[in-house]
């Protein structure tokens, strides 16, 4: 692995407290949740800063967000102009005016490690694809989640959960803003995701015949560019705190390290 820092990272932390875990905690964003004595967003930033293949890191927040006050001193941050997923990404891209590729990371990954980040970035860069997305097998994800429920997609290749790392090109984001928004809104609903790929994909998914290769091929056709899915051996990239019980699990996993 090259020691050259080559990718700028954008930490996405501009959402609202509409998610169950945020509502239960009374916090403006789940990135503010305290796990193991520290805000989750700071754990994410620390992992990215320790990664060999990541250079600069910026956190994107909502305007006047209390997330800004929790960041470790010296952490770069910028405000999103709007509340959508694409607005958040564009705010980060505007911060990095000269970067053609960026790493997108959600701000709610308490167990993220530098090793997990470097593995994904290396695979993504080697692919040369305009969009690279991470996924984790259900078996690996279960090693962290235990019996707690989490979003799964059952494909012919096996059962997977989505990761929370993506490498994208600036041109791809600017070209595909509407599709990105729809994909993000559907990310935890297999049927809605299949609908984005067309009726044939829904049919194959319901019959248990849809494969990872099918999805990649169809996405390539729709977007007119090369995409790639990285099957990560690091379940930490999929462990986001979506539910109140995930906080206790994350705290326990950190104690076990």
Round to whole Å and give the CA distance between 40 and 110: 5
35 neighbors 152 (Cβ within 8 angstroms) = no
Interaxial angle between packed helices 190-197 and 199-206, expressed in degrees from 0 to 180 and rounded to the nearest 10: 140
Question: What does each C-alpha distance from 110 to 20, 27, 156 come to in angstroms?
Answer: 17, 16, 30
Enclosing H/E stretch for 34: strand 34-35
Residue 179 lies in a domain: no
Cβ atoms of 246 and 239 within 8 Å: the answer is yes
Establish if 47 belongs to a structural domain: yes
How much is the pLDDT for 2?
A: 43
Measured CA to CA, the distance from residue 75 to residue 45 in angstroms comes to: 8
Q: Residue 124 belongs to a domain with what CATH number? A: 3.90.550.10
pLDDT of residue 5: 56
* Mean pLDDT per 10-residue interval, the chain, length 257 residues: 71 75 75 92 98 96 93 96 88 92 95 98 94 92 76 86 92 85 67 69 69 85 87 95 87 90
**Does 186 map to a domain?**
no
List all residues 6 or more positions away from 49 whose beta carbon is below 8 Å from its beta carbon. 57
Q: Given this model, what pLDDT does residue 76 score?
A: 97
Within 13 A of 110's CA, how many CA atoms are on the CB side?
A: 27
Does residue 49 lie in a domain region? yes
Residue with tokens 């979506």: 242
User: Is the Cβ–Cβ distance between 53 and 3 less than 8 Å?
Assistant: no
Q: What pLDDT score does 106 carry?
A: 94
pTM of the model: 0.88
For 229-250, the pLDDT digits (tens) are: 999 999 999 999 888 888 889 9
What pLDDT, on a 0 to 100 scale, did the predictor assign at position 235? 95
Structural domain span for residue 231: 7-137+160-173+226-256
Number of residues in the chain? 257
pLDDT given at position 115: 98
pLDDT recorded at residue 242: 84
The number of distinct structural domains making up the chain is 1
In a domain, 144, yes or no: no
Q: What is the pLDDT of residues 108-160, one digit of tens each?
A: 999 999 999 999 999 999 999 999 999 999 999 988 877 666 678 888 898 99
Report whether 141 contacts 150 (CB < 8 A).
Answer: yes
77 domain residue, yes or no? yes
Whether 244 is in a domain gets the answer yes
The answer to whether residue 147 sits within a structural domain is: no
* Among the listed residues 113, 71, 240, the one whose alpha carbon sits nearest the alpha carbon of residue 79: 71
């Amino acid at each position: 692995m090259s020691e050259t820092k080559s990718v700028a990272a954008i930490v996405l932390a501009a959402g609202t407290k509409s998610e169950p875990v945020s509502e239960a905690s009374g916090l403006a964003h789940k990135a503010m949740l305290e796990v193991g004595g520290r805000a989750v967003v700071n754990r994410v930033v620390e992992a990215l800063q320790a990664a060999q293949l990541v250079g600069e890191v910026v956190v994107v927040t909502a305007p006047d967000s209390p997330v800004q006050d929790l960041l470790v001193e010296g952490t770069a941050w910028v405000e999103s102009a709007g509340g959508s997923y694409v607005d958040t990404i564009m705010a980060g891209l505007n911060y990095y005016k000269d970067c053609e590729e960026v790493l997108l990371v959600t701000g709610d990954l308490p167990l993220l490690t530098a090793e997990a980040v470097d593995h994904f970035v290396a695979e993504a860069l080697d692919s040369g694809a305009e969009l690279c997305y991470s996924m984790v097998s259900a078996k690996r994800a279960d090693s962290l989640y235990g019996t707690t429920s989490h979003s799964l997609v059952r494909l012919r290749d096996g059962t997977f959960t989505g990761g929370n790392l993506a490498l994208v090109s600036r041109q791809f984001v600017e070209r595909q803003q509407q599709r990105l928004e729809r994909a993000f809104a559907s990310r935890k609903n297999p049927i809605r995701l299949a609908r984005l790929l067309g009726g044939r994909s829904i049919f194959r998914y319901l019959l248990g015949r849809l494969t990872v290769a099918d999805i990649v091929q169809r996405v390539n056709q729709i977007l007119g560019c090369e995409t790639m899915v990285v099957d990560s051996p690091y379940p930490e990239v999929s462990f986001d705190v979506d539910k109140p019980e995930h906080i206790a699990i994350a705290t326990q996993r950190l104690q076990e390290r």
